[in-house]
Structure 1
């Protein structure tokens, strides 16, 4: 190779190298991904989130780090997305409560404008629960007593404005019943209050499963659309004759403006996790159902739910 050929070859290499470097950088993901769990460590959402992260990590060939950010009614992750680069490396779980909060108090975020919805992966179910020694054997027993004794039933939930509260608020409005709501900081406190005899009823999520299995509590009904497998012997509210159904899907979201190819890759990984034996086992242990919605379906669900929440809040008087 003469001097001229050497210079030409060197120039070609120099021109190709930057392109190769850019292409390498564009391959997603090429570094760890962080998923924010907007609740404290150790709870069902945290445990499930870590299981999902492990499944996604195996598929995407990068570590998935779970970061707990509790507070602000489960919206800390959404708030964080407002100042996050839309490159797919920092994501958050999006609980259904984020669609309700803007109607209850001033929020920094708009759940439609400020997020990219990737996919949902599970749904929580709300259980109307009593202690094992309660005289209420069925949901109809409870309703019958409540009608005869206005304000005679205090029920605990994980907090004000939660889907848990919506369950009996809607039942009360539909059937002209006055229930007394007692908010706690989480399912565990609501269940402890129930077992301690401080409240007659608790509306909690699937976390009540071990208490039911041990015979400490009785689940009277669920506010699900179908009977969850772990609670297959328990009727839904609609089966019992009450028009109460409160869905609570949990999904993965990122900041607005995420590239569609990255969204699609993450969406595909979430869908694959639905059949991952390790992930399914964790959900089964907690009595939680998988519930997959792809990017487009989940985005439409977010838009529809956000609009519907305004009517729910106003009709049930939750912000009075």
Structure 2
């Protein structure tokens, strides 16, 4: 396990992700989610003076962890703008790309970010503070139908309809003032294990606030355009919605479901080779050392 970024975030599947990239000393690589910089430092260690690393992170806090290294370019933006900024910095093609889609430990542990049910703080949840919409904004303005869709799809909340109805019927500024107030506000409709239930609700809000699945899809469709021949993409997901998108795109090269026709052969060619038929998961040792790694799945694809 990498120790360098532990105060900010422990890099999940550290060795496995680096090995997946097949790093060439003079290659060009992208870390889509710089965070604490653990994976980035691991890549830099394997590059010579001609190698380059382009790191993205939309969270301004991540910039505290930047190493002084002339081989690295840091881009303070969402990775959905991957191709745009690679072109801007004159890196039209790269040899590998890594994305760790988990929320960093730092973000969970900072009360004022609003990601965790453990602390009181504002109902924020923005990865990028430049965004205008917060979790409180969504809870205040979304319709009952939109709330149902968000909680059921992004959080798999079992009683999403009841929760949405309760919010719309009773929401007020005071009820959404902060995390503790919100937890008390929805307490009458919490179903099952309260911590699990709240975690699902918070996950749904966080995904919606940051358009996490939309950004992931936008990044994935750019891979065939930015990867060199034999270039690799290694993506670590933390819940089934993300994993399903990555699995589908690596397998098909598209998100569209192609209907089988008995008399026609498909002409669609997947530009990617799906390396991982089954995802790589943390070892028993990593699970013991870092409980937050338990839901991590690493998938790898290679450009033909």
Fold shared, TM-score > 0.5 on shorter chain: no
Higher strand share: 1
Structure number with greater CO (CA < 8 Å, separation at least 6) is 1
- Give the greater-gyration-radius structure (CA): 1
Taking structure 1 as the reference length, the TM-score comes to: 0.31
